[in-house]
Amino acid sequence: MRTYSRLASRTYFAVALSLISMNGAAYAQSSEAENDEAFDLINEGPAGKDVFVFDFGVPSSPALTLLGIDKDKITQSNSLKPFVLSLPGILASDGEGRAVAFDGSIGSLLIAPSQQRYSRYQQRALLFRTRFNIGLYEGVDDDDASKDKPSRVTLGLSSSLLNSSDPLLAAVPGGTGSAYIACLDAARGNLNLPVPTFNEAADAAAIAAFKKSKDLTAFATTCRDVADLAARLGTDFDVGGGLLLEGDPGKIAGLNDEAGVFWASFRTSFGASGPNTEGGTTFDEFKTWEDDFGRWFMIGASGRVGHHESVATGDTVTPQVQANTYAVWAGLESYSKSNRFALQVGQERIDPTGTGNSAFGGTRTVYNASYDQSLGDTGLWLSLSYGKAEGTGALKSDSTARVTLTFNAPTARRIFGGP
């Protein structure tokens, strides 16, 4: 029996390890998918492409965000790659400048791999969710001064502070304890665990085959999805900060200009129901809940403060100015099988720090509302959106309006990284 107990324990832990790769998955935001079968009835504006972009997230890697190079050329770490050295300059085209970046989980850096077990993760989850990153960028020295890009050295730190948004620890709505553990416990009764033969070689081979079996993969995938949904519905509070040093274009030298940025974001869901928990939740009930989950509300807010950072002006004579920047956003989103709604509002402000640069500052208040409605059994959806921005100084006023008819259901906007 002792051999069988160890066998079950090792199998259980193998499933647990497969889910650690989800850490951080719940924080990614999704944009509304493009619809090839959309017909615009009204499509007006906006004049500025970034006016109605609402930023509710804390960067997973503030240093790489502040580095100012193409994010598609940066490989960020996850729990499968606890830390990574990235060389985006290798992929950069001529004229972009070379760069190197490092991003890592504090827990993975400080805690020995032999000690990285689920029981220890529970105790030190905040360390694993906290990321440290550093980046270096040589910039570009161009004959045309307006195309110069300063060299940069950046440092960053970010973390998700609450276990309720951690896929390994989050509970289902109305429940307690880890949805991940509860799902695994429920699945154990459905798994055909290998029967021990008390032959070490045979039992080792049976365990290896079991780990690769389709049944185990299917159960692990379902529990991963259950845990991810629970985390996306959980209350989340993220913080992040970064330090930026700028210097001479074309080489990392003369790092005299300093800037700092701080982010914070909060979100929580309401009106979402969990799986049936009367008498204990079975694996099939977890799977049904995840497969058929269909209605939620979410509310959230975020803020960003920048000190003495470079801001592009769009002016050929003065392409950039140093400024203190402020932004705060708030929003509400709902989703059901027949309709979707999102309301976003925010304010941003730019205060140039140098003398004679006040014309590049300004304040702008922005709001945008959107609504999608299914038109009964026709398969058609009507989508409406309207936004207005009221600005002063360099932050111009703007507006946008769109009415669209589609043959496919619009995806959730997930403005807070929701389900």
DSSP per residue, 215-229: HHHHHHHHHHHHHHH
Task: Report the 10 Å Cβ neighbour count for 152.
Answer: 26
pTM of the entire predicted model = 0.78
pLDDT digits (tens, 9 = 90+) for 286-341: 999 999 888 899 999 999 999 998 888 877 778 788 899 999 999 999 999 899 99
Q: According to the per-residue pLDDT averaged within each range, which of 35-39, 85-89, 253-257, 401-405 is highest?
A: 401-405
Q: For residue 235, what pLDDT band results from cuts at 50, 70 and 90?
A: very high
Instruction: Judge if 50 and 155 occupy the same domain.
Output: no
Instruction: Judge if 304 and 366 occupy the same domain.
Output: yes
Instruction: Judge if 93 and 227 occupy the same domain.
Output: yes
Instruction: Judge if 40 and 86 occupy the same domain.
Output: no
Instruction: Judge if 7 and 68 occupy the same domain.
Output: yes
pLDDT for the residue numbered 92: 45
Domain that holds residue 160: 1-24+60-237
Domain boundary at 237, 259, 279, which?
Answer: 237
Helix, strand, coil shares, percent, the chain, to 5: 30, 35, 35
Comparison of pLDDT for 205 and 138, the residue scoring more? 138
Instruction: Judge if 220 and 333 occupy the same domain.
Output: no
Instruction: Judge if 82 and 40 occupy the same domain.
Output: no
pLDDT for the residue numbered 195: 58
Instruction: Judge if 197 and 132 occupy the same domain.
Output: yes
pLDDT digits (tens, 9 = 90+) for 140-191: 887 776 677 888 899 999 999 999 999 989 999 988 889 988 888 888 777 6
Instruction: Judge if 80 and 181 occupy the same domain.
Output: yes
Q: Is residue 274 part of a domain?
A: no
DSSP character for 36? T
Instruction: Judge if 7 and 51 occupy the same domain.
Output: no
Instruction: Judge if 403 and 375 occupy the same domain.
Output: yes
Q: Pull the structure tokens for residue 334.
A: 């709902």
Q: Is residue 163 part of a domain?
A: yes
Instruction: Judge if 315 and 197 occupy the same domain.
Output: no
What's the rounded mean pLDDT across residues 369-375?
95
Q: What is the total residue count of the chain?
A: 419
pLDDT for the residue numbered 56: 82
Continuous segment of H or E residues that includes residue 12: helix 2-20
Q: Is residue 276 part of a domain?
A: no
Comparison of pLDDT for 353 and 199, the residue scoring more? 353
Count the domains in the chain: 2
What's the rounded mean pLDDT across residues 240-249?
91
